[in-house]
A and B are shown apart, each in its own frame.
Chain A
Amino acid sequence: MKAPSFAYAKPGTLPQVFDLLERHGDGAKILAGGQSLLASLNLRLSSPELLIDITGLPGLNGIRIADGKVRIGALTTHRQIEQSSEIAEHLPLLAQAVRHVAHVAIRNVGTIGGSFALADPAAEYPACAVALDATVVLAGSKGERRVKARDFFRSLYETALVPGEIVTAVEFDAIRPNFRSVFLELARRQGDYAIVGLAAHAKADGSRFSDVRLAFLGAGATPVLAGNAMASLEGKPCSADVVAAAKEALAEDLDPPKDLTTSSAAKLHLARVLTGRALAALSQ
């Protein structure tokens, strides 16, 4: 299948992007790495009038560490994140997660900004961002604004972006001492969409859980923060009973949609298995 015809623009500045977005409205789509957009064009699932290629914009690419924050520009590719020693040191959750994002050829082009803007509930970064309480930086003609990841992902492929805005960066708190991160997912083939995945983060000294964050992917219309399970763990000893209770509490947190081969019940079971494994790793 061939993509339907579209116009193409490659602006050099953000104001030019905003101008194009204003003029074309819903008819325009932002093209960054093209990881998902090009496939949807070539399947004729999407037929925009205009593609606005933002890869020529200055300042949106790269990883900056300052004041305990890690700022990742929207055009930073998965491969850059994968190969970054700074990410490995300061954001081990993302470093673990990125290896599950598709395959190297795709990681070479796909960007973090694209992953956030698309808001696929099966994607890895959104769950990490919710687990780490990251901030998404948006820009539009009226200026810049910051939205917490948990508020950014509204529904299936729906975000807090308003018409005319684009994602310019994502900011994370760098990992603090005594905290640990674990990213786990179950995909039938390496690089596939996960049946279910878990971004977990906690302070753990081997005896007690605190500040536990459990965010699931593939388990709802957005990344799902497992509030009941998290609450059940807070301040509790790292014991089998406590872990079992947290797994039990997941029933209140998750109502995973079935996929082509996996039932909702099986997904909940798998989410519990991942929870047990993540908590074991966090409490080691």
Chain B
Amino acid sequence: MGKAELPLHAPGTKTGRGYIGQSTPRANAKRLLQGRGTFVDDLRLPRIAHAVFFRSPHAHARIGKLDFSTALKAPGVIGVFDGHAVAEYCKPWVGVLGHLKGIKSPPQHAVAIGRACWQGEAVAAVVAETRAQAEDAADLIEAEWHELPVVTDMQAALEGKVVIHPELGDNICFQRQFVTEGFDEAFANADVVVEETYDFGRHTGVCTEGRAILADYNAAEHTLTVHHATQAPHMMQDIFSRHLDIPESNVRVICRDIGGSFGIKVHVYPDEMATAALSVMLRRPVKFVADRLESFLTDIHAREHRVTVRLACTRDGDIIAFDLDDLTAIGPYSVYPRTSGIEGNQVVNLTGGPYRHKQYRANMRAVFTNKNVTCQYRAVGHPIAVALTEGVVDIAARKLGMDPAEFRRRNLIADDAYPYTFPSGIKFEKLSHHQCLDKLLALMDYERLRAEQAALREKGIHRGLGLAAMIEVTNPSPAFYGVGGARISAQDGATLRLDPAGMVNVLCSVTEQGQGTEGIFAQIAASVVGVSVERVRVTTGDTGVTPYGGGTWASRGAGTGGEAVLQAGKILRSNILDVAAAMLNEDKAKLDIVNNEVVDKLTGAAKATLAEIGRVAYFRPDTLPMRFQSELTVTRHYTPREYGFTFTNGIQASWVEVDVETGFVKLLKHWCVEDCGTIINPMLVDEQIRGGVVQGIGAALFEECLYGEDGQLQNGNLADYLVPMAGEMPDIVVGHVETPTLGSELGAKGAGEAGTAGASGAVMNAINDALAPLGAQVTAMPFTPQRILEALGKA
């Protein structure tokens, strides 16, 4: 059993006891550390074939003749297929949602037909006995290309001189305009208006395990079993069923171990769909694993935004309005089925989020370009909304001569103002901005750092302190996708079973990506049923086995799946006590389950072990009363209903030193105080926050997918695309405020994206705080030495 590192009872939780709130080590960590994980690429099936994709070298080109004749003769080749051949087995898709009004995108095929729209788009598939043979053969494909005009610049895309999909009329995939009544007056009457334009580089989530799929079609049964590195197995089951024309119940999606996802693995990828289609076509298992180069070219990218934001406030420092103009480029297709409209939509929803102004105007356009597609990556839209909000808030504070912490304190929504409806229309159940701010300032010793900063400035050392308050979407209701017509489930289910040996088996529809989901389900199940955690086994990621549910995305696993486990556990506990009462001929109300035993509730005296209950229930039910039937398998489901999203909040701070001669930024320390409601496992929550902060720092300082004007990705490898590494990372101090959601008994909100949401904005503000005395500031992420030197007039 894990050592309790924190108080046993998390404040606010209603489960009352057990492992909730403890840093219980997760069972799968040891197995993974010993190299005994089973990832898709570890699986060995008889007659397995390997798919490799011949990809467009051009960002936009008509495909002329594709000559496979030499490739087909290469050793080990089973077949080479173009888009038409694959399309016979896989219907195209369109990435739109009903509730994103006006969103448009053309049909997309698994393998491009007639035209390639970004560098890296698959235009042919090679299947061979080994991966190396397939790659050798792909090198032998001869393609005739007719290059087309390339659109890479967002503004040019908006202007539409070249329209990528002429049948759509223009390059605008999705736009949203929004204005509150009284907005114009607010700006007209403001004492102070500040404005800035921010650029956010296009980047991606770099998973340790690349995308991977092993599709195994069985013609005899007309069944398709897909071993898939995905976050959402049930969603993929539905998609394989509908696009490959196989009954849903004949499709089984299995996710064993997954090496990180971050939103990258929750989308429909053409090459993965093609792999499944090829398995059906060839009636044998076909595997595809994206290598690192393919990952950079085809894993969804995110974030490319150019945003102008204005803030209006009174001379006393009360923010009265925000004005947002966001332009974002999403590649040539809206990604299926979640669409590429969500990130921009989130920026509209979330900008200004922590503050109590009443007036807001937003204008957002998502445009098509000839670069790789973008879609939802960890913290979707939040890093943009937080950075631009917090950036302009700092500019306002500076203009007013107010301390940025005080300016925020003055404007953050009061902790007793909930429930609260924000001008963009989103609703907050209960947030804790002021508690978080107070805790953060105390944790970091704000006043001391300010004094240190001032003293060091005298010596020519330029340190900066940046704050970033944030709100975060978690535990989405069906309002996120379901209402738009997507077959993406916002509910999750859990089945708990008492086994004959007294073990508890948990099956849950939320999946494990390496984040510890299975560990927290074990903690919840153990706590609720009354067993020790090592008596719980958790299975996730198999549509043939677990209850139906959404999987892992939008910081929802703990909040929705955890609640389903809790509710199923309560009933299982009651049902176990029914068996005990019948077996012992006692009053159920006088019995309890503690530490793997049925005990007398009053005296604590042991009555029967759970193994004894299991033995009798399963093997000797003949000894129980005639009409008694035991029910030791229980399933419960949970959907967040009352609020569209269970919002969380938090605030981060970054402390940096800028070398004003070189433009290098040294990260000295980082703090994050957040409120994810009930904390189930403090260690896992803290590491979620830290991992998220590191990805946010990546956006701020290191990561960018650099495209040339010709639409060629210039740094699609890990030598040139810089992911944040341990050597440059600061210590990250994590603190918590716990405001459980009342929408569930567990009270857990999400924690997985908070770190990423706020870190880049905090780092930006810290750099600009350091540069402020020099009259310089940076507004384009990532903040490379070049950009900082330019801001300082040195390059």
Contacts and interface: CB of A to CB of B under 8 A. Distances in A.
Contact of B785 (A4, A43, A190, A195): A195
Contacts of A190: 725, 727-728
B400 to A, nearest CB: 34
A273 B785 CA distance: 13
Interface of B: 130-132, 135-136, 139, 291, 293, 661-664, 701-702, 704, 706, 714-715, 717, 719-720, 722, 724-725, 727-728, 784-786, 789-790, 794-795
A193 B719 contact: yes
A188 B722 CA distance: 8
B722 A2 contact: no
A273 B727 contact: no
A251 interface: no
B662 A270 contact: yes
A66 interface: no
A192 B701 CA distance: 15
A189 B722 contact: yes
A3 B135 CA distance: 9
Contacts of B724: 189
A186 B662 contact: yes
A261 interface: yes
B786 A262 contact: yes
B100 to A, nearest CB: 35
Nearest to B782: A261
Interface of A: 1-5, 43-44, 186, 188-193, 195, 260-263, 265-266, 269-270, 273
A5 B706 CA distance: 32
**Could you tell me the dominant secondary structure of chain A's interface residues?**
loop
A265 B728 contact: no
6 contacts: A3-B132, A4-B136, A189-B702, A189-B722, A189-B727, A191-B725
Contacts of B135: 1-2, 4, 44
B131 A2 contact: yes
A196 to B, nearest CB: 10
A260 B717 CA distance: 13
Contacts of A195: 785
B795 A269 contact: yes
Contact of B727 (A1, A4, A44, A191): A191
A5, A193, A261, A273: which has the most chain B beta carbons within 10 Å?
Answer: A261
Contacts of B132: 2-5
A260 B720 CA distance: 8
B426 to A, nearest CB: 37
Nearest to B718: A39
B715 A186 contact: no
A273 B719 CA distance: 25
Closest 3 CB pairs of A and B: A266-B795, A190-B727, A2-B132
A177 B719 CA distance: 39
Contacts of B715: 260
Contacts of A43: 293, 717
A260 B706 contact: yes
A186, A188, A262: which has the most chain B beta carbons within 10 Å?
Answer: A188
Given A1-B135, A188-B702, A266 B291 contact: no
A273 B795 CA distance: 12
Given A2-B131, A189-B722, A266 B727 contact: no
Contacts of B662: 186, 270, 273
A270 B706 contact: no
B286 to A, nearest CB: 17
Nearest to A192: B722
A261 B663 CA distance: 13
B785 A186 contact: yes
A269 B794 contact: yes
Nearest to B291: A1
B725 A189 contact: yes
Contacts of B136: 4-5
Given A262-B785, A269-B789, A1 B722 contact: no
A151 B790 CA distance: 36
A262 B784 contact: yes
A4 B795 CA distance: 43
Given A4-B136, A43-B717, A190-B728, A263 B795 contact: yes
Nearest to A266: B795
Contacts of A186: 662, 664, 785
Contacts of B701: 188
Nearest to B787: A261
Contacts of B725: 189-191
Given A186-B662, A269-B795, 6 more contacts: A1-B135, A4-B132, A188-B785, A262-B784, A266-B789, A270-B662
Contacts of A269: 789, 794-795
B702, B717, B786: which has the most chain A beta carbons within 10 Å?
Answer: B786
A96 B719 CA distance: 22
A1 B132 CA distance: 8
A1 B293 contact: yes
Nearest to B788: A266
Contacts of B784: 188, 261-262
Nearest to A270: B662
Given A2-B135, A43-B293, A189-B728, A260 B795 contact: no
B726 to A, nearest CB: 9
B711 to A, nearest CB: 16
A40 to B, nearest CB: 11
Contacts of A5: 132, 136
Contacts of A192: 719, 722
B787 to A, nearest CB: 8
Contacts of A1: 135, 291, 293
B311 to A, nearest CB: 30
Contacts of B661: 273
A162 to B, nearest CB: 30
A87 B139 CA distance: 46
A256 to B, nearest CB: 12
A54 B715 CA distance: 32
A75 B369 CA distance: 49
B55 to A, nearest CB: 12
Nearest to A2: B132
A195 B722 CA distance: 13
A195 to B, nearest CB: 7
A110 to B, nearest CB: 14
A27 to B, nearest CB: 17
A2 B52 CA distance: 11
A227 B182 CA distance: 68
A2, A4, A44, A273: which has the most chain B beta carbons within 10 Å?
Answer: A2
A154 B664 CA distance: 32
Contacts of A266: 663, 785-786, 789-790, 794-795
Nearest to B661: A273
A265 B795 contact: yes
A44 B715 CA distance: 16
Nearest to A4: B136
A44 B132 CA distance: 11
B665 to A, nearest CB: 10
Given A43-B293, A189-B728, A193-B719, A260 B714 contact: yes
A188 B783 CA distance: 11
B337 to A, nearest CB: 30
A193 B718 CA distance: 12
B163 to A, nearest CB: 30
A5 B135 CA distance: 11
Contacts of A263: 786, 795
Nearest to B794: A269
Nearest to A42: B291
A44 B291 CA distance: 12
Nearest to B133: A2
Nearest to B789: A266
Contacts of A4: 132, 135-136
Contacts of A3: 132
Contacts of B714: 260
A19 B254 CA distance: 54
A3 B136 CA distance: 10
Contacts of A193: 719
A106 to B, nearest CB: 12
